[in-house]
């Protein structure tokens, strides 16, 4: 059986791995702690992690300098895979019990594997499900069903949309958004991009000192979802975004 | 001391994708010494990320130490030998870790390393992580995968178009850390200002077509971090079945190596 673990590191260098093999694992400066961290910023009994079956709970034990998870101070926290706990300058990365260790499936077959020539020494490429693949026969590859599905982009395209220019010399001109990305504006001055995604269309600032304006409001650096009949302004040009087909 | 930070602009992104619970890719990029390293780990449990982590950490730390110091420069054997030697060193380290610790048995990783120097790029790779180049309107794959699929394409068994739907995408024929020895493939190419390079794991190249990658790079060149983020997003929008990592490096201006003066040349002669 595998179990969850913590990877203790300082300034990006891994110090050691600590398996969460007890119901209660304590972290602190004093030697009686399961994870002893000899650092003045760490309280003598700083925090503890209680593990019940597959879930681990982190609790700050009233430490002086606090406990952070992913940069946020916490009192109690249910640990998620890859959470980073910070105690003083030390970091403890939480690695959950391997999800679905007993699960074979398409997923395993898609993992990159090494194919070795039959001349090579016996291969040691154990997989969780034991589906070691060696030898040179292409026939030994994954079943067709498993990977054929992965080969084609599964994205459902949203309905066709366009922007129509509302003012200036090009007024009335229409630009269909047939690609995943369409840039608008003047390179070097101001450019925005409209991205077409399964969940709809989004506009994002690309370059220039000023940001695009949608319905009279300037955007920030974040992608902004576009709705039918939104009015976009860019370098003084107004244009309307609209959905063409349903 | 090497400092290319005025000549190279770098942006990176890495994401676990929509299916995998953790990210087994590792990346490092340093504009100052002109280095980009990307590795896509494989192996059970967390071994994949250990393998890719060792490869990237070792290579980037040692090259940084060598090139970033006061007197740092590419040693006599040249960039190709430098990359080759460090890839071989990383291979041995991963192989030995895999041999000595049962939880790491069989771990391995792909690797692509690029080093910009003297108006050139030297790229070494092992496996199916790739380097692409966008120059003007031409988008090209620079590295050739060490994979069963590539071998099938090369031998004419299948076409590039058929390859997109192949079942054998995930079978690499070379990897770092699987055997005590490995043969990195290393080449050097001239670089021009305006070139945009992309290093990526197969989580991008399997999920997003070359056409869409090219469109993204050419549309968003002015904002490299956004371009990197958009590539990851498209891979995820298309299903994100694997970890996705990208490193973008744009050549802003040329970067000739400082030539040694006559005195240094003379001194070196008598040394």
Count of CB contacts below 8 A, A vs B? 140
B166: CATH: 3.60.40.10
Window A:85-114, CB contacts with B under 8 Å = 95-96, 98-99, 101, 107, 109-114
Do the chains contact at A114 and B237, CB–CB below 8 Å?
A: no
> What is d(CA A152, CA B170) in angstroms, rounded to the nearest whole number?
15
Domain count, chain B: 1
- What pLDDT is stored for residue A15 in this prediction? 86
Window A:5-44, CB contacts with B under 8 Å = none
Token output for B169: 């995408």
Mean pLDDT of A142-170: 64
What is the full DSSP assignment across B223-243? -HHHHHHHHHHHHHHTT--S-
B1 in a structural domain: no
Do the chains contact at B215 and A127, CB–CB below 8 Å?
A: no
How far does the CA of residue B223 sit from the closest CA of chain A (Å)?
6
How far does the CA of residue A220 sit from the closest CA of chain B (Å)?
13
Domain that holds residue B127: 8-270
B167 in a structural domain: yes
Query: pLDDT (tens digit, 9 = 90+) per residue, A79-94?
Result: 888 889 999 989 999 9
Do the chains contact at A197 and B233, CB–CB below 8 Å?
A: yes
Which is more confident, A123 or B117? Answer: B117
Mean pLDDT of A220-242: 94
Do the chains contact at B166 and A114, CB–CB below 8 Å?
A: no
B3 in a structural domain: no
Mean pLDDT of B97-122: 93
Query: pLDDT (tens digit, 9 = 90+) per residue, B252-268?
Result: 999 998 776 666 666 66
B178 in a structural domain: yes
B29 in a structural domain: yes
Task: Enumerate residues 6+ apart whose C-beta is below 8 A from B203.
Answer: B17, B25, B40, B235, B240, B241, B242, B243, B244, B245
Task: Identify the residue among A96, A112, A147, A200 best suited for mutation to test binding to B, counting B beta carbons within 10 A and taking the highest.
Answer: A112
ipTM: 0.85
Token output for B143: 């590295």
- Full-model pTM: 0.71
- Among B109, B135, B131, B129, smallest CA distance to B206 is for B129
Closest-CA residue of B relative to A197 is: B237
Strands A67-69 and A84-87: antiparallel
Query: pLDDT (tens digit, 9 = 90+) per residue, A187-213?
Result: 889 999 999 999 899 999 999 999 999
B2 in a structural domain: no
């Amino acid at each position: 059986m595998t179990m969850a673990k913590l990877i203790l590191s300082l300034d990006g260098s891994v110090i050691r791995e600590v398996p969460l093999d007890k119901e209660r694992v304590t972290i602190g400066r004093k030697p009686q702690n399961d994870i002893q961290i000899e650092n003045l910023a760490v309280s003598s009994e700083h925090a503890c992690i209680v593990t019940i079956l597959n879930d681990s709970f982190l609790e700050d034990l009233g430490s002086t300098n606090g406990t952070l998870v992913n940069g946020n101070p916490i009192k109690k926290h249910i640990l998620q895979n890859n959470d980073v706990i910070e105690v003083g300058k030390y970091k403890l990365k939480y690695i959950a019990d391997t999800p679905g260790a007993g699960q074979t499936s398409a997923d395993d077959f898609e993992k990159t594997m090494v194919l070795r020539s039959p001349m090579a020494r016996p291969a040691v490429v154990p997989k969780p499900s034991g589906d070691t693949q060696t030898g040179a026969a292409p026939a030994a590859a994954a079943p067709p069903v498993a990977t054929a599905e992965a080969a084609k982009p599964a994205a459902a395209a949203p309905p066709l949309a366009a922007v129509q220019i509302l003012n200036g010399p090009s007024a009335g001109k229409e630009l269909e958004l047939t690609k995943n990305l369409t840039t608008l504006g003047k390179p070097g001055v101001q450019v925005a991009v409209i991205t077409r995604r399964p969940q709809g269309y989004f506009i994002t600032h690309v370059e220039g000192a000023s940001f695009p304006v949608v319905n009279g409001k300037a955007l920030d650096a974040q992608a902004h979802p576009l709705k039918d009949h939104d009015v976009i302004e860019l370098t003084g040009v107004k244009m309307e975004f609209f959905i063409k087909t349903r | 001391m090497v400092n290319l930070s005025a000549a190279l602009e770098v942006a990176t992104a890495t994401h676990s994708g929509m299916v995998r619970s953790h990210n087994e890719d590792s990346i490092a990029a340093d504009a100052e010494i002109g280095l980009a390293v990307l590795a896509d780990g494989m192996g059970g449990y967390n071994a994949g990320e250990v393998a890719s982590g060792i490869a990237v950490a070792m290579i980037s730390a040692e090259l940084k130490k060598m090139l970033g110091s006061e007197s740092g420069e590419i040693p006599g054997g040249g960039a190709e030998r430098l990359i080759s030697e460090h890839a071989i060193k990383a291979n041995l380290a991963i192989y030995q870790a895999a041999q000595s610790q049962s939880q790491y048995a069989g771990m391995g990783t792909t690797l692509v390393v690029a080093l910009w120097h003297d108006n050139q790029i030297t790229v070494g790779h092992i496996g199916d992580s790739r380097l692409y180049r966008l120059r003007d309107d031409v988008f090209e794959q620079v590295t050739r995968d060490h994979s069963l699929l590539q071998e099938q394409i090369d031998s004419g068994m299948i076409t590039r178009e058929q390859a997109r739907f192949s079942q054998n995408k995930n079978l690499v024929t070379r990897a770092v850390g699987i055997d005590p020895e490995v043969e990195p493939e290393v080449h050097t190419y001239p670089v021009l200002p305006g070139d945009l390079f992309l290093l990526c794991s197969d989580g991008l190249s399997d999920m997003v077509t070359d056409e869409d990658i090219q469109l993204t790079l050419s549309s968003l060149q002015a904002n490299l971090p956004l371009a990197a983020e958009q590539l990851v997003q498209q891979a995820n929008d298309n299903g994100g079945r694997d970890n996705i990592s990208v490193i973008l490096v744009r050549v802003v201006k040329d970067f000739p190596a400082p030539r040694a003066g006559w005195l240094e040349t003379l001194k070196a002669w008598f040394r």
